[in-house]
Amino acid sequence: MLKKALCAGLALFLGACSHTDDFQRPELPVPTQWPARADASGQDLQASLDWEHYFVDPRLHALIALALQNNRDLRIAVARVQEARAQYGIVGADRFPNLSLGASATAGATPPDLSGTGTELNGQRYDLALNTLSYEVDFWGRIAGLTEAARDRYLASEEARKVARLSLIADVAVAYFSLLQSEELLTLARATTAARAQSLDVVQKGRDIGAAYDFEVEEATGSLEAARSAQATLENQRDNAQNQLDYLIGNAAQSDLPQGLALDAQGLDTPLAAGLPSQVLLQRPDVIGAEQRLRAAHADIGAARAAFLPKVLLTAGAGVASAGLANLFNGSAWNFEPSITLPLFDAGKLSSGVDMAQARKVIAVAEYEKTIQVAFREVANLLSVRSSLALQARSAEIGERAQLRRLEIVRARQNAGLTGVLEVLDGERELLAARQLRVQLRRAQLEASAQLFKALGGGA
């Protein structure tokens, strides 16, 4: 009776140690609907979220393709995926026996005074064996748990590669739109500089004939120099934007690229139906990667618990052996060495391993929930930004048309002799500021759309 009770108690103990609850995805720690300001109504984007469909500029397509081919950060991410895949293969190999084929030859001679027979002894031995070295029978799932954790970490690294790819695509688009903005603003600045140089020439000639005053000449001179300074600043910004784009595409040659589109022709301002937060967030690669790391931490707990249980090792070998090479295959030899070990005392090492695995799972849960919260904030902010920028852009277009009409009226009054050059210069400055604002808002709209492509998962 005592033996039966001990066996039953041992079985219950071993079963409790080896049991690991099935993985369950935590509840989403975010609201079930987007905030009211985050306008998510409109066209369903999920069917066309691939970057080749989302972006319409053929030149941008070519630049993104170059970046995906040459960017060093993306190469690092791909290499890390390959590293994780190799680690998964290493751990998974422990689930199978390791077989090796070994051959050996031994020859020896013993002098007469040591042989015990008074005569010299000569010996030869030849062996050929197929061995399996210490194969652990995975009764309790310890190796399976380690393999599952390695697989989940490999999958997480694959999601990290997708995150890097998405970020690169969005960064190239943002850099390209910044370059287009710099070029359009630089075109405006050059036209303004030329116009103000012409105005200064007209005012100087008017002063020479007594039709203008010195303060008007100084005002026109100051306006010209301000335009030249602004042009130099924009040239530097254009160069910086080009350098950033070159860096992202790996400084690859950009010759023979297709003609690009202007900012106003880029599209990307169609209202989006982002869907429910759960539909959007759970398809983002960073959220999927966080979940895979959480699954790996869960599997580590099972492997740590299984370390308490007995380990069954099988060592076996089979082959042939002979004293002569000619008759090597006439004799057979084999060995079989099963062993079982049960940890009894390790000063708390195994229990600390379980505690560490459980603590790491708590960390993984928190990181998973934080990733989802950050993703929710990013999407909600970008949806709100797009709505706000759309309103600002419409106001900027109306304002630009009003300033253009005002300048036309002022110039007509100047031609009629009803006003002077200062009012014309003031009108030109206001129109330039309105046009610059419109270009900047358009670039901001496109940047927000590129970032939203990334935030929605980008078809990853």
Report pLDDT for 273.
Answer: 56
Give the 3-state DSSP-derived string for 337-401, with helices as H, strands as E and coil as C.
EEEEECCCCCCCHHHHHHHHHHHHHHHHHHHHHHHHHHHHHHHHHHHHHHHHHHHHHHHHHHHHH
Q: Which residues of 297-330 are buried (b: 16+ CB within 10 A; e: fewer)?
A: bbbbbbbbbbbbbebeeeebbebbbbeeeeebee
Cβ–Cβ under 8 Å, residues 74 and 68? yes
Task: Look up tokens 């927000």; give the residue.
Answer: 448
What is the chain's pLDDT, residue by residue, as a tens digit (460 residues)?
444 444 444 444 444 444 556 777 778 777 877 776 655 555 455 545 688 888 989 999 999 888 888 877 767 766 665 665 666 555 555 555 666 666 667 776 777 766 667 677 776 666 666 555 555 544 445 555 556 666 667 666 777 788 788 888 888 899 999 999 999 999 999 988 998 888 888 778 877 777 677 887 888 888 889 889 989 999 999 999 988 888 888 876 667 888 999 998 988 776 665 566 766 777 788 888 888 888 877 776 666 665 555 554 555 555 555 555 555 455 566 555 566 666 666 666 667 777 777 787 888 888 888 888 888 888 888 888 888 888 999 999 999 999 999 989 988 887 887 877 778 888 888 898 899 999 999 999 999 988 888 888 876 5
Domain limits of the chain?
20-96+139-308+349-455, 100-111+120-137+309-342
Task: Look up tokens 């012409």; give the residue.
Answer: 198
Q: Which pTM value belongs to this model?
A: 0.71
Task: Give dist(CA 153, CA 135) in Å, integer.
Answer: 25
SS3 label, residue 138: coil
Report pLDDT for 8.
Answer: 45
Looking at the DSSP bridge assignments, the partners of residue 318 are 130, 334
Report pLDDT for 59.
Answer: 92
Report pLDDT for 96.
Answer: 57
CATH class as words, domain 20-96+139-308+349-455? mainly alpha
Q: Which two tokens stand for residue 286?
A: 């960073």
CA distances for 121 relative to 105, 111, 124, 326, 327, angstroms: 17, 7, 10, 20, 20
pLDDT tens for 402-415 read 999 998 998 888 78
> What CA dihedral angle connects 78, 82, 87 and 89, to 10 degrees?
140
Q: Which two tokens stand for residue 137?
A: 């029978």
Task: Give dist(CA 317, CA 339) in Å, integer.
Answer: 15
Cβ–Cβ under 8 Å, residues 296 and 156? yes
Task: Give dist(CA 244, CA 178) in Å, integer.
Answer: 10
Task: Give dist(CA 366, CA 126) in Å, integer.
Answer: 61
Phi-psi region of 458 (alpha: psi -120 to 50; beta: other; left: phi over 0): left
Phi, psi of 106 (to 5 degrees): -130, 130
Q: Of 189, 221, 190, 191, give the one whose Cα is nearest residue 203.
A: 221
**Which residues, 6+ apart, have CB-to-CB distance to 90 below 8 Å?**
150
Report pLDDT for 176.
Answer: 92
pLDDT tens for 290-345 read 888 888 777 766 666 655 555 545 555 555 555 555 554 555 665 555 666 666 66
Looking at the DSSP bridge assignments, the partners of residue 336 are 316
- CATH architecture label of 100-111+120-137+309-342: Single Sheet (2.20)
